[in-house]
Chains A and B, each alone.
Chain A
C-alpha cells in the first residue's frame, strides 16, 4: 500500500469514527430527552408512581389519573419539548446564517416584538385581529414577531447589506420594541402590568393539544426545509465567498432561512411567552458536542433545546409542590450550569 493510500484509509477511518461518535452523542441526547419527557409526565403534586403513569399511557383504569395525565400533564410536557426544539432550531440557524454566535430570537428583537404585541392587548386592549377571542394575545404576539422579522427581511434585501448590518438592525429592532414595551408598562394599570410580567416570564400552562399540533406542524416543516439545505448551510459557515464558490446562492438561502427562523420563534413565543436563553445556548451546547456539520448540529440543537425546556418544566413543578414557577426562570436555572460545565470540560480536554 502506498503512503498516499494509507493516508486516505486513515482519514476515512478517522471520519467514520467521528461520525460514529457523533451519532452516539445524538442517541444519548435522544435518550436524555425521552427520560426527561417521562419524568415530566410522572411528576406533579399527586402521588402517582412512574409505573401507574406508564400503565395509564396504554390503558387507564383510574379516571382521575386519566384526566391528570392526558388533559393537564401531556399538553404541557409536549409543548415544553416542541417549544424548546423550535427556539433552539431558530437560534441555531440564526447563528449559522448571520455567522454570529450571539444571534438568537431574543437578540434580534423577535421576542421583544412579540412581548410588545402582547402588551398592546394587556395594556391598551388593542388587537390586530379582534375576532381571535381568547387567542387574542397569542395572535398579537405572533403578528408582531413576524412583523419584526419582515422588517429584518426587508433590510436584508437592500443592496449592499451584509449580515453584520443585519445583526445590527436586529439589535436596533430589539431596543426599539423594548422601548415601546417600556412605554406601555409606564402607562399600564396595576392589573395589566401584572398580566404583562406574568406573560413575559413565560408559562407552559397555556398549552393545549391544538397548540401542540400547530407547533408540531411548524417544527417539522421547518426541519424539512433546513434538512434540504443542510450542506449549503454548512458551507455558509466557511464564509460567504467560500460558500459562493461552492455554488450556494447565499442571499436567497439567508433570506429563506431568516423567514423560517422567524416563523419558528414567533409561534413558540406567541404560545408560551418570551422564554429566553434556550435559543442562544442550546445551539452552543450542540456545537460544543457535535461541531458545525449541519447533519449533526441541527438535530443536536433541537434535542438539546427540547431536553432543556423539558427539564425546566420538571423543575418548575418541583420547587413548590402544587404551584409552578414561571418557566422562563427555571430554564435559565437549568441551562446555565449545563452550559458552564460543558465549556469547562471541553476546555480541559
Chain B
C-alpha cells in the first residue's frame, strides 16, 4: 500500500479492490491515518495475510480482480502453495514488485511498473526523480570525500519483547541502508541474512561508534518497552523509551551510550518507499560534518506532501537525550 499511496496520494483507494492485512497489523499508525481520511479502506475485503503466505484465490476470483500484486519475497511460498497455478488456471494475471528485499535496486523499477498498471506514469517518474535526487546527495558526498566508516550496531525492533537484548540487522535491509549511509554494519560481518541474535557481551567488547535501534508504535504489546516512534509519537515518550533501552544489562557501561551516540529510527522504513530519508538521517549521524546542510526532516515532509495522502506528524527518528 505504501507504493500505491505514493503513486496516487489524492485517491489511494482508486482501483484497489481488496487488500492484504499486513499494513493494519504491522503499522498501526499509518493504517489509522489512512482509514481516518478514507474510511472506505476499513470495508475493503482482505484477501491475503502475507506473514503466513496465505492468499484467497477464490475471493480474488469472485471480486473480478484484473490483477493481483504480490511482494517478491513471497514468490516461493506462493508457488509452493499452488496459489500461482490456481491464478493461472483462472486467468487472473499477477505481478511481483519488490519494496523490501533489495530496495536500492528494485524499488524504482517496481514503482515504474506499478505506475503503468495504475495509469500513474507521471507520478512514478516524479517519485523516481525525487528519490534519485535525494539518494545522490548522500552517495556523491560520500564518494567525493574521504571518510572513516564508523562501526554501527543496528538493533532490530528494540524493546519489542521487553528488556531482552538484542536482535541485530545483518547485510539485508537496514544493514544495506547503513552501508549506503557510509557506515560499517557490525551485523553484516556475521550474517548475510536479515538478522542475528547478539551475545550481549559483545556490547562491551566491540568499540561501536554509533548504535541505531529500530522501533515503532508497539504500545499495544504489553511487554514492549520500545520508544513508540511513528505518526502519533511524542518527544517525552520517545525520550523515556530510549532511556529504558540504554538501562538494559551492559548498556550503561558502553562508551557509545555515555557519548550519546545512540539513536532510534522508525522500524517501518524497512519496507517503505521513503526509506531514502532513513539513509539520509543515518548519513547525517555517521558523518555530521559532511551533511550539515542536509535536512531530512524537510525531505520527509516534502515526501508526504508529494507522495502521501496525509501530512507528516509525530517523530520518526531521535537521539538519546
Q: Which of A's residues lie within 8 Å of B, judged by CB?
A: 44-46, 63-64, 67-68, 71-73, 121-122, 125, 127, 130, 133-137, 185-195, 198-199, 203, 205-206, 317, 320, 322-326
Contact between A190 and B50 (Cβ–Cβ < 8 Å)? yes
What are some 30 contacts across the A-B interface (CB < 8 A)? A44-B201, A45-B199, A45-B201, A45-B202, A68-B204, A68-B250, A125-B222, A130-B222, A133-B223, A134-B163, A137-B162, A185-B52, A186-B52, A189-B22, A190-B51, A191-B26, A198-B167, A198-B197, A205-B197, A205-B200, A317-B199, A322-B190, A322-B198, A322-B199, A322-B202, A323-B196, A323-B198, A324-B197, A324-B199, A325-B197
Contact among B160, B222, B250 with A72 in the assembled complex (CB-CB below 8 Å): B250
CB of B200 within 8 A of CB of A72, answer yes
> Min CB distance, B9 to chain A, in Å?
25
Shortest CB–CB separation between residue A239 and chain B, in angstroms?
Answer: 47
Question: Are the C-beta atoms of B205 and A187 separated by less than 8 Å?
Answer: no
Report the bound CA distance from A317 to B205 in whole Å: 14
Q: Give chain B residues whose Cβ lies under 8 Å from the Cβ of A72.
A: 200-201, 204, 249-250
The reply to whether B162 and A134 contact each other, CB–CB distance below 8 Å, is yes
Who on chain B is nearest to A201 by CB?
Answer: B197
Complex Cα distance, B164 from A190, in Å, reads 19
B295 within 8 A of A: no
Instruction: Let me know if B75 is at the binding interface, CB within 8 A.
Output: no
Q: Of B157, B163, B205, which one neighbours A322 at CB under 8 angstroms? A: B205
Checking A64, A186, A198, A323 against B199 with a beta-carbon cut-off of 8 angstroms, the contacting residue is: A323
Contact A64 B204 (CB under 8 A): yes
Could you list 20 further interchain pairs (A-B, Cβ under 8 angstroms) beyond the known A194-B157, A205-B164, A322-B206? A44-B199, A45-B199, A46-B205, A67-B250, A68-B250, A125-B221, A127-B222, A134-B163, A137-B223, A187-B49, A189-B25, A190-B51, A191-B26, A192-B51, A203-B197, A317-B199, A320-B190, A320-B196, A322-B199, A323-B196
With both beta carbons as reference points, the residue of chain B lying nearest to A193 in the complex is identified as B51
Minimum CB–CB distance from A300 to chain B (whole Å) comes to 31
Contact B201 A46 (CB under 8 A): yes
Q: How far is the CB of A53 from chain B (nearest CB, A)?
A: 12
A46 to B202, CA, bound (A): 7
Distance between Cα atoms of A121 and B218 in the complex (Å): 13
Verify A206–B164 contact, CB threshold 8 A: yes
Contact A191 B157 (CB under 8 A): yes
When distances are taken between beta carbons in the complex, the residues of chain B under 8 Å from A68 are: 201, 204-205, 250
Chain A residues with CB below 8 A from B51, complex form: 188-190, 192-193
* Residue in B160, B165, B186, B204 whose Cβ sees the most chain A Cβ within 10 Å: B204
Question: B161 near A195 (CB under 8 angstroms)?
Answer: yes
- 0/1 string, B81-107, CB within 8 A of A gives 1: 000000000000000000000000000
Listed from nearest, the 8 A-B pairs whose CB atoms lie closest are: A189-B25, A134-B162, A190-B51, A46-B205, A322-B202, A323-B196, A44-B201, A136-B223
B 155-198 to A, binary, CB cutoff 8 A, 1 in contact else 0:
00100111111011000000000000000001000110000111
CB of B286, distance to nearest CB on chain A (Å): 21
Q: How far is the CB of A202 from chain B (nearest CB, A)?
A: 11
User: Are B190 and A323 in contact (CB-based, < 8 A)?
Assistant: yes
Q: Tell me the nearest residue of chain A to B195, going by C-beta.
A: A194
Q: Scan B126-147; emit 1 where CB is below 8 A from any A CB, else 0.
A: 0000000000000000000000
Q: Name which residue of chain A comes closest to B189, CB basis.
A: A322
Q: What A residues does B54 contact at CB under 8 A?
A: 186
Verify A205–B165 contact, CB threshold 8 A.
yes
User: In the bound complex, do residue A188 and residue B52 qualify as a contact, i.e. CB atoms below 8 Å apart?
Assistant: yes
B128 to chain A, nearest CB (A): 27
CB-defined contacts of A325 to chain B, threshold 8 Å: 197
A341 to B163, CA, bound (A): 40
Distance of A198 Cα from B218 Cα, bound (Å):
18
